[in-house]
Structure 1
Amino acid sequence: MDLSAFTRPVGRLVATAQNGLEVLRYGGLETGAVPSPFQIIQSVPMYRLRRYFPPDTRPGAKQPGPPVLMVHPMMMSADMWDVTRDDGAVGILHKAGIDPWVIDFGSPDEIEGGMERTLADHVVALSEAIDTVKEVTGRDVHLAGYSQGGMFAYQSAAYRHSKDLASIIAFGSPVDTLAALPMNLPASIAPVAADFMADHVFSRIDIPGWLARTGFQMLDPLKTAQSRIDFLRQLHDREALLPREQQRRFLASDGWIAWSGPAIAELLKQFIAHNRMMSGGFSIHGDLVTLSDIDCPVLAVIGEVDDIGQPASVRGIKRAAPRSDVYEFLIRAGHFGLVVGSKAASQTWPTVAQWVKWLDGTGDLPEGVNPMALQPSEPHESGVSLSSRVAHGTAAATEMAFTFAKSAAGAVVSANKSARALAVETARTLPRLARLGQINEHTRISLGRIMSEQARNLPNGDCLLFDGRVHTYEAVDRRIDNVVRGLIEVGVRQGTRVGVLMETRPSALVAITALSRLGAVAVLMPPDVDLADAARLGAVSDIIADPNYLDAARELDMRVLVLGGGEARDLQVPEDADVVDMEKIDPDAVDLPGWYRPNPGLARDLAFVAFSSIGGELIARQITNARWAISAFGTASAANLGRGDTVYCLTPLHHQSGLLVALGGAVVGGSRIALSRGLQPDRFLKEIRQYGVTVVTYTWAMLREVINDPSFALYGDHPVRLFIGSGMPTGLWKRVVEIFAPANVVEFFATTDGQAVLANVSGAKIGAKGRPLPGGREVALAAYDPQEDLILEDDRGFVRRAEPNEVGVLLARPRGPIDPTAPVKRGVFAPADTWVSSEYLFRRDHDGDYWLVDNRGAIIHTERGCVYASAVNDAMGCLGAVDLAVTYGVPANGHELAVTALAVRPGGSIPSADLSEALAELPVGEPPDIVHVVPKMTLSASYRPLVSPLRAEGIPKPSRNAWYFDPDTNRYKRLTVAVRTEIAEGQPG
């Protein structure tokens, strides 16, 4: 009788029981493996720095090869690099002649203060470890990080501008986190969810090690279940289990450590909600950092079926670090399989060793490592599909079932993609529009009040960026309150008019907001005008100045309050000077008077006085809280500003655009405000990447100064999605959207009193001013006769509304206080109705979009008819060679000539045929009498082309770049001496 049929099952059962008992008692099978030897080179509370296989220091001993410093993610133990000595990372690299180092952050729940660690703490600690490795070895360091450890590697490299780094090797490390999320989560919802979790969950709790393990396993539940079933099925076969036992125990229990809540919150907020690995502008202990500063070689190891570090997300490094030579190595593995397991031992680590040798000049480029192709900026992959993960670890039949389910789900997701995005945008925009619609003259609203609300809702949120540093809402709001106390101490009260003469810097923003919070009036004084005239027009009693403008302010006969100026401030003023150093006032020692109530301003109250120049005359513009709020809420709604945006304020804060659009829109939107010291092309490019600028503000031809500069070169990707402002010439508009694609332009038009606000939100029609903002004032076009300068009426005596493409005067239906100098009209379209005339002429096309035609008082009345300057300038801007166009009137022998001056781009030329064609299809009005090219065009401080210097030169002189309009042929011809004489005498042609 063959007893094996009986004894074999019994023996298998006994072996299973014995091995199972060992697993239950000890957590696993005893393998007899010992860890690789290492030496602790540095031990500080934040980390310990291990050097594996310490070199023999005896004379003549073989010296180690290039150093590789390996970085583990926050939730995994540093022992992941040595799970098995023969097949682990440190062992394989050592055998290949590489010098392996490991940074060990330890388990934070076992370290005093460990659960208070932030993500920035890890980045700074890694940077310090790099310094140590460099100091000990004398060689540049290869930085290798797995998953979030790779993110740390990228961030630390950017933080130190690649100093002392030979390369970065990242294993499944996401960069463009919104390009492909785990489990195919929709990118439109992830930022909202991440922000909520950061603010309301992980600000209160931490993640213990067991929960980190469970979460990791749940990301791939099929593979987790399959691994456990395989282990149970082979529990009788100890020899089969031992080779993978250390790896199994690591994943099942030993390898997981706790996460601190602050670190998770920072990860969610900066790199998921706001995706700042891609955009730049992430904060490391207050310093603003961008991956575009990385310039060392990069090797991204990508798992083909990695559902955590998905290929689309990992490949974002190519766009985020355009100055680096970026390579990739693609293997058929999941997330953990990239660094631990059989494929890691046979493919990953030999390739890494060869990569290091190749850069060291002792080997060839590894097989399978290729330059990474540039991926499109728009997400083109939905991530590692469920079917791919199933195919990687289950049978073909199961794969088919999940493939069918994935296809059905994909159809639903595709159908609802636009609706989901619309829902997120609507949720952000509707409350603003509702609040905008509720503003009346008795509403309590002001800049100071909105800043208080944001500081209360987002105390730790980034508020202000300047000189590479970030300041939180709480810090900025506290500084504002301190300045308010200082102002009260020196006698400033509600309603007091105080001049602000300061550079665009944080102290200027604080001063303006503090005056708003106090209920005083900030008179914004441009430094390039007659200050005495501005002080008189603004009726100021005191001036707040920074140290740079102290001398200019002291020329005025009034008290000067000095605020800000940075660390190196030495006022050097006589003792008898009427100067108060606000920085010497202790805010805690100031007793607040009984009359003080923070943010008392009503919508009808005067909040600011700004200045503009018309015909060389300085004009004071009064801005109420309502006017400021309309622009601020309108900008935030039109530009869809949110917490993930960084608004770059290129315009000075004393300019209306800086105050109303940049500062106002950013504060209402809860966005970050980036202040610039001035417009310079090299600074512009550096700061939009360093700050992660998503929205750039402009006035008129400001951006021309950037893109026309010979040194301007936009390399790689950029974070800008919008340019917002007013007055951008059509030609410049076209160039901006071409150069900064896929960014768009949102062009605003607003009357001085804020009653009429238009916005071209879509940007589809270059040159159009768009449509009225939802929730804003109602506008209408009154039919207009330009020859008689009359608003036309219908047969009932009411004003006739202009037909499509008919020139009309823009009217606005007022709400709240009306500027006493504004032209008010009553009984316009209905009995007793009230409208305010903007005195601007527009046409409205068949789609309902408004196009600026001219100012009512600036129409050029030629002998051939009316010439509308804006219409002509827009047409000229469509010519590729034209940089700027200005149309103006010139008197000539009792009549008026319309002249258009052109500034041409370098190397550009304008054939007369192109000129004739461009002006032949003017939507309204006549073409100009003369067109000529000028060598230089003078711009105002706000970058608006000035007409007066051109008009002063009279009729243009004949040249090869001057043409006149021949009414007989309706063509432009070369302007000669004879023709010019005839034109000057009133006999054109």
Structure 2
Amino acid sequence: MDVNLSAITRPIERLVATAQNGLEVLRLGGLETDSAPSPFQIVESVQMYKLRRYFPPDSRPGQPRPGPPVLMVHPMMMSADMWDVTREHGAVGIVHAAGLDAWVIDFGSPDKVEGGMRRNLADHVVALSQAVETVAQTTGQDVHLAGYSQGGMFCYQTAAYRRSKNIASIVTFGAPVDTLAALPMGIPANFGAAAANFMADHVFNRLAIPSWLARTGFQLMDPLKTAKARIDFLRQLHDREALLPREQQRRFLESEGWIAWSGPAVSELLKQFIAHNRMMTGGFAIGGQLVTLTDITCPVLAFVGEVDDIGQPASVRGIRRAAPNAEVYECTVRTGHFGLVVGSKAAQLSWPTVAEWVLWISGHGDKPSNIAPMIEQPAEYTDTGVTLSNRILHGVGEASEMALAFARSAADAVVAANKSIRTLAVETVRTLPRLARLGQINDHTRISLGRIIAEQAHDAPHGEFLLFDGRVHTYEAVDRRINNVVRGLIEVGVRQGEHVGVLMETRPSALVAIAALSRLGAVAVLLRPDTDLAAAVRIGGVTEIITDPPNLETARQLPGRVLVLGGGESRDLHLPRDAAVVDMEKIDPDAVQLPAWYRPNPGLARDLAFVAFTTVDGELVAKQITNYRWALSAFGTASTAALDHGDTVYCLTPLHHESGLLVSLGGAVVGGSRIALSRGLRPDRFVAEVRQYGVSVVSYTWAMLRDVIDDPGFALHGYHPVRLFIGSGMPTGLWQRVADAFAPARVVEFFATTDGHAVLANVTGAKVGSKGRPLPGAVHIELGAYDAEHDLILENDRGFVQVADVNQAGVLLAEPRGPIDPTASVKRGVFAPADTWICTEYLFRRDDDGDYWLLGRRGSVVRTPRGIVYCEPVTDALGFVNGVDLAVTYPISVRGRQVVISAVTLRPGATITAADLTEAVGRMPVGLGPDIVHVVPEMTLSATYRPTVSALRAAGIPKPGRQVWYFEPSAGQFRRLTSTARSEIVGAH
């Protein structure tokens, strides 16, 4: 019988080989590969990093100059050795072989460096910026940045921070940008953002991630692939030759390639770039400087892993919208996250493409054939991540993937139909406490601006609060500054209850001054530079005036002592030795002894907090604002706009205007949001600041945004972070243009009476021109039926006020809760015996859906021979006419009768017809249209951008012309105004 010895010896040899190799793995952690690392030189070594130059060039004279430099950036949890896992097939080796100059920044292991576990993201970006500077100076060439995963995020952030200076191009591998577009493992965006916020605030502010946990977390992202790799390794443990080519990569992923991750860096990553998604929105802070990816102007090449479930394609492709000023290309690779940079696919495709890209950008080669311009994708995605087919082809089990896909499809269907239950839950959790607190406010409740700022500083001291001139200030810093100013005010003798004028430009010191007066319990009298300041000081009962250096000379002309605060770049005051002028900045707050009477934030809801001014018919009128009135607007704005820590409110209106004080500042403080102050509305600065600050909510007043939208240079390229515009008085035509230009952002129009009891908000923005519905948590309101002909509020048979029917004119009545303004018109026994209501004197109609539409003040009703005309609906209707820019409606008395005239301005190149006017007026459900409509070349706007009619009214009845029309009642339509028709109007009795 023949014996096959190989059949006997082969299993034995295999067993022996397995045992030998296994023992080597157990003893050494892996198989010896006899592979030496690529040579490198440490060019720069500082506490934050070491800068390696691989294959350093021969410095002897006459040697060839190295090619373009490529600086590679690793993510925080991985070792910098990832770029040289295998010498022949690693990144630095391939790059060097292509004739390029390979550099690597090594952040080291933070747990082995003094202070390393306190590093934050900004430290890494600043360090990378310094390394770019070093490479550029050493080589004399601009640098190509190449970053993997979070290292790619560092590349984007550094390029933005440097405004692309010395950066030739950026290459990234699986680097997320729009993190909420597709989170790993299909985590829903709302849940992921909330979880990231919680982890940042309550976990990683105390803990760090050790290297073993970083490795485990990475492996758990794809547990099936990790398990398969380990099983394959064990199955081939007998075949050393088969294992050696992949051994260094295996050892890197299994043990050697992972480093610790500092808690502050993790916390900042979770909060800034996941919860708040600031890579997309902009407004992330690097060393106090606000940065946006729109400042990237160099070319970008993004490698996209088709089956990458960490840097998901939708998230990676966010760079196209986030960096609209850069040429962005992509290269898709059928691999997972790590396979983009290490492994066979990386060696065969990724790094040769990088070499070709660098040579092409440097003008030394052709464009790589496997890259293409990245196509801009919509902001809302139908695909939440890596597709089902790609996952299956990548080896993931069909059953689990189909179950996951089914669950996602079901979730997508819910989201498409309406807001998800999770979203509603998040909004409810955010809103209910505010509404509950608002509902508990009574006369004796301690509530004020200073108090809310102190609460936010206590709860989130390091939370970003104030943005100005490209810098960011935390709640803690602003609160400390407020307390210092309070001490200064006490030192100069200001006490609780005193009226102190504030004459300052919109700047941080103005906000601090207003808040300090609130904390002290004094009354801030907000002085407008465009009014009669002497009259305002007299009416406001001002004893001292806080001013800034630019307004110092103006303030010195007014009665009372002048207190100079802030000024920043212009502190060289050269003040005379005059007791009437005090430089507050020279007072040492630590040297001030607080008196026994001082109690921080003593203001009660009923107390007067602010005095603002407006002009009515040329007369200066003071508006008294109690703490309750401020709180109602602040809490109402924060609730209606769903403001939270991730929002940035852009305050375009001056702080001396009610919109700036009550809506912008109030809403931001209550919502814990950031507030960005502007030096004033400038169209050329608007878009830049929106992106730089990451503005999500823009405040406005009246026609303010017209200067932006209609500016010839206005253009939105790529993504913008704005989701809401909040304010009051926006003309209907402008409203529609703003909504179209910034879609899907919407306009939230507010209406509030002077005393603050009646507050309405058009939250959905669906009905352009509507004032919406009563603000949640505000007082109960009702419409009392109104007889416009006889100027009477109608009563029923029992003597109570009759409730207005649908689309019937009614007087807005508010059931008071909290302090009542002494100037308010109080009515009792209105709808029930002994009840109390405030008559606001505003007329509204209420449509079938319960939405309110303003008809104007009770005294603005115009009674003509044709019938009743309400000016507000006419102006709104004309604003809808295509081509109309602004419109106003006003009456003129002619021989004892009222003639209603509407003036409109047109957009450049636009024309309107009589048919347009007839159709627009015909759609009004209440009241009649005007007698005359005429086009005027321009319209005067007030300081708050409200169109004024005084000059138009003074001009009288318009003269006939091509763009003047009158309404002919017998025909029911507008016709061009002739001399005969005008004579009939003017001469009619």
Q: For this structure pair, what is the TM-score category when the shorter chain's length is used for normalisation?
A: over 0.9
Matched, 1:407 2:406: yes
Q: Secondary structure at the match of 1:354?
A: helix
Per-residue CA distance 1:521-575 (angstroms, 9 max, x = gap): 1011101111110011111111101111111111112101111000431222321
Within 1, Cα distance between the matches of 2:969 and 2:391? 74
Within 1, Cα distance between the matches of 2:395 and 2:736? 52
1:454–1:409 CA distance, 2 compared to 1 (3 A): same
2:750 aligned partner, one-letter code: F
Quote the offset at 1:576 in angstroms. Answer: 2.5
1:403 aligned partner, one-letter code: M
Matched, 1:930 2:932: yes
Per-residue CA distance 1:223-263 (angstroms, 9 max, x = gap): 11000001111111111110000000000111101111111
Q: Check conservation: 1:183, 1:386, Cα contact below 8 A.
A: no
Q: Secondary structure at the match of 2:36?
A: coil
Counterpart among 312, 320, 340 of residue 310 in structure 1: 312
Aligned equivalent of 1:838: 840
Q: Check conservation: 1:606, 1:624, Cα contact below 8 A.
A: yes
Quote the offset at 1:175 in angstroms. Answer: 0.0
Quote the offset at 1:383 in angstroms. Answer: 1.2
Quote the offset at 1:387 in angstroms. Answer: 6.6
1:832 aligned partner, one-letter code: A
Aligned equivalent of 2:219: 217
Counterpart among 535, 539, 542 of residue 540 in structure 1: 542
Counterpart among 500, 503, 519 of residue 501 in structure 1: 503
Aligned equivalent of 1:347: 349
Q: Check conservation: 2:485, 2:513, Cα contact below 8 A.
A: yes
Q: Check conservation: 2:382, 2:412, Cα contact below 8 A.
A: no
Give the alignment of 1:869-888 within 5 angstroms.
Answer: 869-888=871-890
Counterpart among 622, 625, 628 of residue 627 in structure 2: 625
User: Bigger shift: 400-409 or 74-83?
Assistant: 400-409
Q: Secondary structure at the match of 2:93?
A: helix
Per-residue CA distance 1:313-346 (angstroms, 9 max, x = gap): 0000000000111100001000000000000000
Per-residue CA distance 1:751-797 (angstroms, 9 max, x = gap): 00001000000011000000001111100001111121111111111
Aligned equivalent of 2:98: 96
1:713–1:495 CA distance, 2 compared to 1 (3 A): same
Within 1, Cα distance between the matches of 2:143 and 2:606? 63
Q: Check conservation: 1:387, 1:403, Cα contact below 8 A.
A: no
Aligned equivalent of 1:134: 136
1:514 aligned partner, one-letter code: A
Within 1, Cα distance between the matches of 2:951 and 2:627? 36
Quote the offset at 1:59 in angstroms. Answer: 3.0
Per-residue CA distance 1:99-142 (angstroms, 9 max, x = gap): 11111111111111111111001001111111111111111111
Within 2, Cα distance between the matches of 1:130 and 1:756? 58
Q: Secondary structure at the match of 1:51?
A: strand
Aligned length: 984
Matched, 1:144 2:146: yes
1:927–1:386 CA distance, 2 compared to 1 (3 A): closer
Within 2, Cα distance between the matches of 1:567 and 1:823? 48
Within 2, Cα distance between the matches of 1:362 and 1:162? 21
Quote the offset at 1:405 in angstroms. Answer: 5.1
Q: Check conservation: 2:391, 2:401, Cα contact below 8 A.
A: no
Quote the offset at 1:978 in angstroms. Answer: 2.4
User: Bigger shift: 372-381 or 242-251?
Assistant: 372-381
Q: Secondary structure at the match of 2:733?
A: helix
User: Bigger shift: 903-912 or 705-714?
Assistant: 705-714
Within 2, Cα distance between the matches of 1:986 and 1:661? 48
Give the alignment of 1:754-793 within 5 angstroms.
Answer: 754-793=756-795
Per-residue CA distance 1:69-118 (angstroms, 9 max, x = gap): 10000000111000001000010111111111111111111111111111
Within 2, Cα distance between the matches of 1:414 and 1:73? 36
1:213 aligned partner, one-letter code: R
Aligned equivalent of 1:246: 248
Aligned equivalent of 2:340: 338
Within 2, Cα distance between the matches of 1:622 and 1:200? 42
Counterpart among 673, 676, 679 of residue 677 in structure 1: 679
Within 2, Cα distance between the matches of 1:944 and 1:692? 28
Q: Secondary structure at the match of 2:179?
A: coil
Within 2, Cα distance between the matches of 1:364 and 1:412? 45
Per-residue CA distance 1:592-614 (angstroms, 9 max, x = gap): 11111111111111111111110
Name stretches of at least 5 consecutive residues in structure 2 with no aligned partner: none
Within 2, Cα distance between the matches of 1:576 and 1:410? 74
Q: Check conservation: 1:767, 1:874, Cα contact below 8 A.
A: yes
Aligned equivalent of 1:712: 714
Q: Secondary structure at the match of 1:102?
A: strand
Within 1, Cα distance between the matches of 2:687 and 2:311? 30
Within 2, Cα distance between the matches of 1:510 and 1:162? 35
Aligned equivalent of 1:299: 301
Give the alignment of 1:938-977 within 5 angstroms.
Answer: 938-977=940-979
1:42 aligned partner, one-letter code: E
Within 1, Cα distance between the matches of 2:379 and 2:58? 49
1:408–1:205 CA distance, 2 compared to 1 (3 A): closer
Aligned equivalent of 2:190: 188
Aligned equivalent of 1:726: 728
Counterpart among 25, 35, 38 of residue 37 in structure 2: 35
Within 1, Cα distance between the matches of 2:560 and 2:697? 39
Q: Check conservation: 1:782, 1:792, Cα contact below 8 A.
A: yes
User: Bigger shift: 570-579 or 465-474?
Assistant: 570-579
Q: Check conservation: 2:549, 2:570, Cα contact below 8 A.
A: no
1:316 aligned partner, one-letter code: G
2:8 aligned partner, one-letter code: F
2:335 aligned partner, one-letter code: A
Q: Secondary structure at the match of 1:228?
A: helix
Q: Check conservation: 1:937, 1:945, Cα contact below 8 A.
A: yes
Matched, 1:44 2:69: no
Per-residue CA distance 1:804-858 (angstroms, 9 max, x = gap): 0000110100112211111111111111111111111100001000000111111
Within 2, Cα distance between the matches of 1:939 and 1:859? 23
Aligned equivalent of 2:530: 528
Within 1, Cα distance between the matches of 2:354 and 2:575? 64
Quote the offset at 1:173 in angstroms. Answer: 0.1
Give the alignment of 1:545-944 within 5 angstroms.
Answer: 545-944=547-946
Aligned equivalent of 1:442: 444
Q: Secondary structure at the match of 2:394?
A: helix
Quote the offset at 1:306 in angstroms. Answer: 0.4
Quote the offset at 1:192 in angstroms. Answer: 1.4
Q: Check conservation: 1:73, 1:146, Cα contact below 8 A.
A: yes
Within 2, Cα distance between the matches of 1:204 and 1:285? 22
Q: Secondary structure at the match of 1:832?
A: coil
Within 2, Cα distance between the matches of 1:385 and 1:449? 50
What TM-score, normalized by structure 1, do the two folds share? 0.98
Q: Secondary structure at the match of 1:393?
A: coil
Quote the offset at 1:411 in angstroms. Answer: 2.6
Quote the offset at 1:401 in angstroms. Answer: 5.1
1:926–1:415 CA distance, 2 compared to 1 (3 A): closer
2:410 aligned partner, one-letter code: A
1:944 aligned partner, one-letter code: R
Quote the offset at 1:2 in angstroms. Answer: 2.1
Within 1, Cα distance between the matches of 2:332 and 2:399? 25
1:886–1:332 CA distance, 2 compared to 1 (3 A): same
Within 1, Cα distance between the matches of 2:224 and 2:790? 81
Matched, 1:382 2:381: no
Q: Check conservation: 2:644, 2:672, Cα contact below 8 A.
A: yes
Aligned equivalent of 1:72: 74
Quote the offset at 1:388 in angstroms. Answer: 3.9
Within 2, Cα distance between the matches of 1:973 and 1:389? 68
Sequence identity (%): 71
User: Bigger shift: 612-621 or 5-14?
Assistant: 5-14
Q: Check conservation: 1:391, 1:399, Cα contact below 8 A.
A: no
1:408–1:640 CA distance, 2 compared to 1 (3 A): closer
Per-residue CA distance 1:257-299 (angstroms, 9 max, x = gap): 1111111111111100100000000000100000011011100
Within 1, Cα distance between the matches of 2:138 and 2:395? 44
Would you identify which runs of 4 or more consecutive aligned residues in structure 1 move more than 3 Å? 385-391, 412-417
Per-residue CA distance 1:681-720 (angstroms, 9 max, x = gap): 0111110000000000000000001111222222221110
Within 1, Cα distance between the matches of 2:949 and 2:813? 26
2:809 aligned partner, one-letter code: V
Per-residue CA distance 1:134-191 (angstroms, 9 max, x = gap): 1111111111000000000000000000111111000000000000001111101112
1:856–1:578 CA distance, 2 compared to 1 (3 A): same
2:712 aligned partner, one-letter code: P
Within 1, Cα distance between the matches of 2:562 and 2:98? 71
